[in-house]
């Protein structure tokens, strides 16, 4: 047994690395803060290159035997993980809400959907398959097999740490890979609690490691390790570029889900009440810190004034509060001070460039401590303004009037990002045009921006390479081998 500190009554918890099924202490730690009150709530391991290399070495040694198991046997461990999550769902949601200021309702949704995600991929154990291909030669069989890549590394963000952790673990394990997950040092608690909870499910040693530390130390070491078969990262464009650079040395496969600047197009025939409700929900979910939610709005000029008269009171009604103590809060604090100041600087820059703040536009003065920013609406923006081009990742909504649907499409595509988009219209022709002309990995029609686990979450341009979820996400963790079998 480990000396892992996890008692619920402990004021400041000290965590350990979970490597190959065992817990290990580190010499140094990273303070984890509650963003709502800036108090230190935990000490997370500050991982090292040695930790990363140890986890990969254990994974490499354990993977061949794991890969030879029937997929349905590997899937049983995913089912056990789902069961453990459900048995501890409230505790895990409370942990998540505390370490990252996610309102309790959304925190509970993340925990519950993660359990579903493990079950979903367990159910795919019997469904992924190869092919038999017709040969050009007589008496020859051509068989296409899907094999595990070997060691899969998952590098996770801080905004949905628990769910994205599962996004890396579930498809990699069920397809026969061993997995090393590097979780964010900003929000490590819920994932390391998960490691504790699965300690006794019987997972073979070496198959799964969950470690943390700084990206430039642990993430870099994992990315440049020659024994890694795939690196799946969810994070910023800058982080993706560093991973690609490191992976290039070994020609390691990468799957990257990066930033976004999601446009929302409101057409003149749209149901404006529906559009306002969906866009506000898509902007303030997790205090605006979601890469696939609405970051900029284009409204056809015929309905612009009416749309704004509905949008402003809806944004003003958003309740901001402490994630753990305010059950009615719609959003809470930003993850840290750096993020808070970045949002404030972008808003100030918008004003300098001619934008008009109609609501909010400043760090909240309502709270004595914590990293709170007011829900904000900015008008009089232009396409080349920074607020319309750079990812804000906060509760800030710039709105621009456009002269036509064509202009809206052009402006929407005028971005280095291409993750998600949305359109509000009852015109089937516009919807069909958006299918082909909106150059984004996902387009939501007349609904909020939130993906389904059976879909495929992927981006165009600098928003990423590859993707996650569904049967296509499973393919990321497989490599193809063709057998040519000549009969004598």
Name the burial class of residue 162, with classes exposed (0-12), middle (13-18) and buried (19+) by CB atoms within 10 angstroms of its CB.
Answer: buried
Q: Closest by alpha carbon to 236, among 264, 261, 212, 218?
A: 261
> Which residue from 260, 251, 177 is spatially nearest to 442, judged by alpha carbons?
260
d(CA 454, CA 476): 14
Q: Is the alpha carbon torsion for 373, 110, 188, 329 positive or negative?
A: positive
Contacts by residues 357-361 (CB-CB < 8 Å, ≥ 24 positions apart) = 358/308, 358/312, 359/312, 359/315, 359/316, 360/315, 360/395, 360/396
Is there a contact between 327 and 104 (Cβ–Cβ < 8 Å)? yes
The CB density around residue 238, as the number of other CB atoms within 10 Å, is 11
Residues with catalytic annotation?
Answer: 257, 291
* HEC readout, the chain: CCCCCCCCCCCCEECCEEECCEEECCCCEEEEEECCCCEEEEEEECCCHHHHHHHHHHHHHHHHHHHHCCHHHHHHHHHHHHHHHHHCHHHHHHHHHHHHCCCHHHHHHHHHHHHHHHHHHHCCCCCCCCEEECCCCCCEEEEEEEEECCEEEEECCCCCHHHHHHHHHHHHHHCCCEEEEEECCCCCHHHHHHHHHCCCCCCCCCCEEEEECCHHHHHHHHHCCCCCCEEEEECCHHHHHHHHHHHHCCCCEEEEECCCCCEEEECCCCCHHHHHHHHHHHHHHHHHCCCCCCCEEEEEHHHHHHHHHHHHHHHHCCCECCCCCCCCCCECCCCCHHHHHHHHHHHHHHHHCCCEEEECCCECCCCCCCCCECCEEEECCCCCCHHHHCCCCCCEEEEEEECCHHHHHHHHHCCCEECEEEEECCCHHHHHHHHHHCCCCEEEECCCCCCCCCCCEECEECCEECEECHHHHHHCCEEEEEEEEECC
């Amino acid at each position: 047994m480990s000396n892992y500190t996890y008692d619920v009554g402990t004021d400041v918890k000290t965590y350990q690395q979970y490597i190959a099924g065992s817990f290990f202490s580190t010499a140094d730690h990273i303070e984890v803060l509650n963003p709502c009150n800036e108090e230190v709530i935990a000490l997370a391991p500050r991982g090292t290159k040695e930790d990363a290399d140890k986890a990969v070495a254990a994974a490499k040694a354990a993977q061949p035997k794991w890969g030879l198991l029937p997929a349905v046997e590997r899937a049983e461990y995913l089912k056990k993980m789902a069961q453990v999550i459900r048995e501890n769902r409230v505790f895990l949601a409370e942990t998540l809400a505390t370490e990252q200021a996610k309102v309790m309702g959304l925190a509970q949704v993340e925990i519950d959907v993660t359990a579903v995600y493990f079950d979903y991929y367990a159910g795919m154990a019997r469904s992924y398959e190869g092919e038999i291909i017709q040969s050009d030669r007589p008496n020859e069989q051509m068989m296409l097999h899907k094999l595990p890549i070997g060691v899969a590394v998952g590098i996770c963000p801080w905004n949905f740490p628990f769910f994205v952790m599962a996004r890396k673990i579930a498809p990699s394990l069920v397809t026969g890979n061993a997995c090393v997950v590097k979780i964010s040092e900003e929000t490590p608690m819920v994932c390391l609690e998960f490691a504790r909870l699965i300690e006794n499910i019987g997972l073979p040693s070496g198959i799964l490691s969950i470690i943390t530390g700084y990206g430039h130390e642990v993430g870099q070491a994992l990315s440049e390790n020659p024994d890694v078969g795939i690196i799946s990262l969810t994070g910023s464009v800058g982080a993706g570029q560093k991973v690609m650079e490191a992976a290039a040395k070994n020609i390691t496969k990468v799957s990257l889900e990066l930033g976004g600047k999601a446009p929302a197009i409101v057409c003149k025939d749209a149901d404006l009440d529906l559009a306002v409700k969906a866009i506000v929900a898509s902007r303030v979910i997790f205090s605006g810190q979601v890469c696939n939610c609405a970051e900029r709005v284009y409204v056809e000029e015929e309905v612009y004034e009416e749309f704004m008269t509905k949008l402003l009171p809806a944004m003003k009604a958003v309740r901001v509060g402490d994630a753990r103590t305010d059950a009615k809060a719609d959003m809470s604090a930003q993850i840290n001070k750096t993020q808070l100041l970045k949002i404030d600087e972008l808003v100030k820059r918008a004003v300098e460039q001619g934008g008009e703040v109609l609501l909010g536009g400043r760090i909240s003065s309502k709270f004595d401590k914590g990293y709170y920013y007011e829900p904000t609406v900015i008008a009089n923006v232009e396409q080349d303004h920074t607020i319309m081009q750079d990812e804000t990742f906060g509760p800030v909504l710039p709105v621009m009037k456009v002269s036509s649907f064509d202009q809206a499409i052009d402006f929407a595509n005028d971005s280095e990002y291409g993750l998600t988009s949305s359109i509000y219209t009852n015109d089937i022709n516009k919807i069909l045009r958006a299918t082909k002309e909106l150059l984004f990995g996902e387009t939501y029609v007349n609904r909020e921006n939130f993906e389904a686990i059976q879909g495929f979450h992927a981006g165009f341009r600098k928003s990423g390479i590859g993707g996650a979820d569904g049967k296509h996400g499973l393919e990321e963790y497989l490599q193809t081998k063709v057998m040519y079998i000549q009969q004598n």
